[in-house]
Amino acid sequence: KNEVEQSPQNLTAQEGEFITINCSYSVGISALHWLQQHPGGGIVSLFMLSSGKKKHGRLIATINIQEKHSSLHITASHPRDSAVYICAVDKGGSEKLVFGKGTKLTVNP
Amino acid sequence: DVKVTQSSRYLVKRTGEKVFLECVQDMDHENMFWYRQDPGLGLRLIYFSYDVKMKEKGDIPEGYSVSREKKERFSLILESASTNQTSMYLCASSFHGGGHQPQHFGDGTRLSIL
């Protein structure tokens, strides 16, 4: 079983919809990362969090350490949000991350 | 802004060739990483370096080696390329500080082995 599981694997939405992507992990962590990968390959770090909630523009990331679960929300989605969103965790004491397989989001106009 | 530059976006090589993928970062990061990304498998760590001349195997090091002679440059070497090494290769770098430092990624190299 993978240590980091994301759901859904694929998500299609209409412009303006509220989007939620979920990440569950089975190991103890010291931090969780959300990354965005656009078609073409480049990956950008969106959030890094170890507790609570962070917000950047229309993106919100939350984490519940007790439940070993994180969510990434996108409000008022737009076609330019179409990308693969990747969850990754640091298991503590390591410089390395463990990655989920990603959620492919398509936002239609 | 941090810049991580990979030498090629697309590369086509033949089976048995020795292949070099180069990565350069301009932010004096201690850590550098090489990943491969395949459909349905996500990002998998090949090798990791936390300092010049230091390296550590990742999850899938077989068939690969690395070189870090200078802090800013991390090279991935396919000793004898095989078709199952056709993949997207991504380099990343970060400051030392555990998982609390974001990793900065290059644009990737799509490598095809014929």
Instruction: List all residues 6 or more positions away from A67 whose beta carbon is below 8 Å from its beta carbon.
Output: none
Distance CA A94, CA B100 (A): 10
Per residue in A35-76, pLDDT tens?
Answer: 999 987 789 999 999 999 999 999 999 999 999 999 999 999
The answer to whether A100 faces chain B, any CB pair under 8 Å, is yes
Q: How confident is the model at residue B98 (pLDDT cuts 50, 70, 90)?
A: low
The alpha carbon of residue A67 is apart from the nearest alpha carbon of chain B, in Å, by: 20
Dihedrals phi, psi of B91, to nearest 5 degrees:
-105, 145
The answer to whether A57 faces chain B, any CB pair under 8 Å, is no
Closest partner residue to B45 (CB to CB) among A30, A96, A102 is: A96
